Amino acid sequence: MFFLSRLRLIFLLDATLLIAICALETVNFTGLILHEWLGLLMPFLILAHLLFSWTWIAATTRRLFSSRSGRADTRTRINYFLTLALFACITAQILSGILISQQAIPFLTKKPALALTENLAWGRIHKNSSDFAVALVSFHLAINWNWLAAAVRSRLGWRKAGAR
Ligand code: HEM
């Protein structure tokens, strides 16, 4: 029972994270105000995502960096370093977003926003890390596809053809 509700929670959280990233990548669709507030929610969603994945993160880090544990296979290594790159990319996006913020941060700090034209370097980092994130999120989904498909099947009560 606990397992089922935990799986459901992880599934809902991951679906929310994916929808939030898609929305954040389409600023023209959301508008800048929604974009910035949604962007500020991301650290909480990512922290929750990492906490739910903590067992995998801790076990894989031990396997990769300790000589006593068994060697990690190539797929696990690629998955680990892709995840690390994605984390770095999203951290850069959020930090650069905060530094170029035109709405949310000026509202919270009650200080005027710096014009985007005066903050070109951070603007470029924000745009480039967003482009990288699209590729990295796609790889992240692809490499974890079996887990994702199993979670969707179990959530919808489907079983593989032939499975009893
Ligand atoms: C994971 C989180 C985020 C993602 C994926 C993301 C993604 C994007 C993308 C794709 C653009 C359009 C870039 C372009 O084509 O020039 C953009 C622009 C922008 N973002 Fe974010 N963003 C995130 C977080 C934030 C945060 C937290 C803030 C501020 C609090 C923010 C503020 C801005 C601003 C002000 C622009 C307009 C920049 C311009 O017009 O040159 N973003 N963001």
Q: Where are the domains of the chain?
A: 2-156
State the burial class of residue 93 (Cβ atoms within 10 Å of its Cβ: 0-12, 13-18, 19+): buried
Does the beta carbon of 82 sit less than 6 angstroms from any atom of ligand 1?
Answer: no
Structural contact between residues 99 and 36, judged by C-beta atoms closer than 8 angstroms: no
Does the beta carbon of 136 sit less than 6 angstroms from any atom of ligand 1?
Answer: no
Does the beta carbon of 100 sit less than 6 angstroms from any atom of ligand 1?
Answer: yes
Cα–Cα distances in Å, from 125 out to 33, 98, 156? 20, 12, 40
Structural contact between residues 79 and 133, judged by C-beta atoms closer than 8 angstroms: no
Residue type, 17: L
d(CA 142, CA 63): 22
Please give the chain's pLDDT, 164 residues, in tens: 445 577 788 888 999 999 999 999 999 999 999 999 999 999 999 999 999 999 999 999 988 887 765 677 888 899 999 999 999 999 999 999 999 999 999 999 999 999 999 889 999 999 999 999 999 999 999 998 888 888 777 766 665 554 44
